[in-house]
Each structure stands twice: as C-alpha cells, then as structure tokens.
Amino acid sequence: MKLKLLAVTLASTIALGLSTTAFAQKVLKVGSTPTGIPFTFLDTKTNTIQGAMVDVINAVGKETGYTIQIEAMPFSTLIASLTSNRIDLISAAMFITPARQEVVSFSEPIYRYGEGLMLNTKVPQKTYTSFEDLKDLTVGVQIGTAFVEPLKKTPGIKEVKLYDGSQNMISDLNAGRLDAGLLDYPIAAYILSQGNNPNVRLDTSYKPQVMGSIGIAANKSNPELLATVNAALTKLKANGTIDAILKKWGLGV
C-alpha cells in the first residue's frame, strides 16, 4: 500500500513538474529600455514600459500564445542580458547591424530611420549635412547606439561625450553643457515636440549618415524562437497590425 501511494505521489510530482515547465516555457522575458520614446519608455502613471516596440512584441505574444514579460534595462546592457540568457528577446529601438548580427540574431525589419542632429540654440546657424560639419563642437551620443563609433572616428570634433540615456543628454544640451547631440531621429523629434527643452533645436538640414532598420533580437542558440517571431511578424504585417501600431505612435509608414 505504501509503495502504491509512493508511486502515485511520484507520478503526480513528475506531472506537476512537467506542467510547470510547460507553463514557464510560455513566458518570454523581453528586454526593453525606459528611455527610447516613442519606441520604448517608462510610463510613470503605470510604472510600466510602453511604446511602439512594446506593442509589437505584445502583438507577437498574442499571435503565438506566449505571455510577454517586459524587463526594463539600460540600452547598453540589452545584448549582454540576451547572450547571458537573462532575457529571451530584445524589443527596443535597436538597429540591425553587422556587428550586432555576429552576436545575436534579428527578426525581419520592422521600421527604418536614421539619426537626428540636435543643437543648442547658441550654436551658430549653418547647414549641417554630415558628421564632418560638427567640427569644433562638443557632441553627445548614447552608449551602445550605431552612431558612437562613426562619430569617434570623425576628425575635428572637440569632444564626444557618452550617455546612458537620451534624457540626460538632452538635459545637458538644454543647459549648454553640450553643443550638439546625435539620437535616433524619431526619439529626438518626439522628445523635443513636448516643448520641455527650449534651448535645443532639431536641425532640419541635417542628412542622416547612419540609416538602419530595427528588429526583435533573439539568442543565436534559439533559432526556433526567432522563426516563431518571424512567422508572427509576417502575419502582423499582412493584416495591418504593425502599420496600425506605428501610426499610433506617430511613426509614418
């Protein structure tokens, strides 16, 4: 009798363990940033990460049956968190670049854009068309973005200052501690449209030097998950969901 009870208990425990594992596999931890509005940002009213790329990954979750768990972290730590398996995916304003593709895998492109040039209003008006036109200026740029290395390699720039987040960089621009700043154009345009930084202007003559597309990143060790994400994105593009999300956040398509 005791042996029979032990067998039943063991079977129940194994079944429960398998059930728990199956449930756990249905939860995807997704790295995102609190400073990339309108792609990702911290909504202080709900204390949650919101934005276009959050809506996209939530739509992917709905399509595939996964529960999405957003993990907030600085942009510069996203890839390390993915490769160390702290998270399963990245959904943020992250360009698909050859260097990043050596480390992680990316989904099909979701949105394409380049950098925007922000200037302190005391900087003389002239036509800025390239990095070379930033000669003799102190320029800010966000750590981990695709603009850092090209900017560092440009001769004549007085100083390149690195920032963890866009808000700190724009605050320094507004205070005159920077002459210029490079940031993803949609993010720069959205932040400055709020009117909270009167000493910063977005230069409309500037021509982006680093164009790129953003996508969802997955660990190279999990190609099945990436295939699932891509299949969902194909459906969401075809039925208009992706376009509707981009339009919602003021991202023209």
SS3 content of the chain, % helix, strand, coil (to 5): 40, 25, 35
CATH 3.40.190.10: which residues of the chain? 27-111+214-248, 115-202
Question: With 0-12 CB in 10 A as exposed, 13-18 as middle and 19+ as buried, what is 163?
Answer: buried
pLDDT for position 8: 41
**Alpha helix positions (H), the chain:** 2-25, 52-64, 78-83, 98-101, 148-152, 166-175, 185-193, 223-238, 241-248
Q: CATH top-level class for 27-111+214-248?
A: alpha beta
pLDDT for position 168: 93
pLDDT for position 125: 86
pLDDT for position 70: 98
Q: How many CB atoms lie within 10 A of CB 70?
A: 20
pLDDT for position 25: 55
**CATH 3.30.70.260 correct for 115-202:** no
CA trace torsion 132, 137, 138, 139 (10° rounding): -40
Residues 6+ apart with CB under 8 A from 196: none
Low-confidence residues of the chain: pLDDT under 50 = 1-24
CA neighbor of 224 nearest in space, from 22, 69, 89 = 89
pLDDT for position 229: 98
Q: How far apart are the first and last CA of the chain?
A: 69
Residues 6+ apart with CB under 8 A from 227: none
